[in-house]
Structure 1
């Protein structure tokens, strides 16, 4: 009986000693002051995400359950994320979104009710994407350039359908009447919180 209790206690100590450590910080000016954080159970990744809306830029580093390496360009909203799974591996900042080199691809994006706008893709954004979702009872559509890894992510909170395609302007130019900001908020919260 004492041996079983000893083995159980040793297992608990061994498990607690191998919890993932990530840097944690949040900033609205780009880089942020990092603090080390021991990740809670179930959070097995370290993530760094940068979001830029116009001239406003936010950076977040934290523990995550799941995340993808890649970027998205939805016109005025750009996001980039980095994910890793070793202690303190999220020390570096994600490269500046404005410094990404255009790759020649072009996709439609939505600006208010119109999805007739065209944006140039950059970096690893090798697909055009379209996502539909429901926010506040309204159906919302967003379009833009997306990295393959983000297209492959199948579960994004409150997003019903993500479709990606290869080729210039393959994500269609149909107009929508709903504001895309609601869905952008959902996508942003997913990347910042997961």
Structure 2
């Protein structure tokens, strides 16, 4: 006797918490087709003495956990792939001892303390406005092919590795190169 079993389950739709702002009121949303992860982001911006914290939770088709800190703004992203796994806010990481340069509008020689998984220094150009930003980033953020809002993203390892070479260092390198050329030819 031949028995056929039909699978009537057409697939499970992921459900995630959804909110924007303070996230005091979170609702559960069934994610659209193609969404395979839930995300939770926390962005803290500082203008003068004023800190503003904005949280976003929802469904995502692609999500990468990590952190990007450019001094005046820090975004932490947490991704997960089970129903309603984004109930908790993205973590507020603790300092990890790494230091990178950051910009404040006047100078890009400020020192920034990195935290959590921020294990790289970053230098990028803001897509709108074209000004340079520097700061700390997680390897996972640096590995992205495209970081939304930024272009010309470059990351490096080592404390303060995202600083510009000084003119004297560049001049010294040029002089040594020329001297080597004349001595060896």
Q: TM-score range by the shorter chain?
A: 0.7 to 0.9
1:163 aligns with 2:180: no
Q: CA deviation digits over 1:119-150, x for unaligned, max 9?
A: 11111111101112432xx4232110111111
1:14 aligns with 2:10: yes
- How many correspondences in the alignment? 157
1:50 aligns with 2:46: no
Instruction: Provide the TM-score with structure 1 as the length reference.
Output: 0.73
Instruction: Provide the TM-score with structure 2 as the length reference.
Output: 0.76
2:103 is paired with a residue of what secondary structure?
A: strand
For 1:110, which of 98, 103, 109 is the aligned residue? Answer: 103
1:9-88 equivalence runs, <5 A: 14-15=10-11, 18-28=12-22, 31-54=23-46, 55-88=51-84
2:64 is paired with a residue of what secondary structure?
A: coil
Would you tell me which structure has more helix in proportion to its own residues? 1
For 1:124, which of 117, 125, 137 is the aligned residue? Answer: 117
RMSD: 2.2
| Greater C-alpha Rg | 2
Unaligned runs of 5+ in 2: 1-5, 166-185
Q: 1:163 to 1:105 in 2, by over 3 A?
A: same
Equivalent residues of 2:141, 2:147 under 8 A apart: no
Greater RCO between the two (CA within 8 Å, min separation 6)? 1
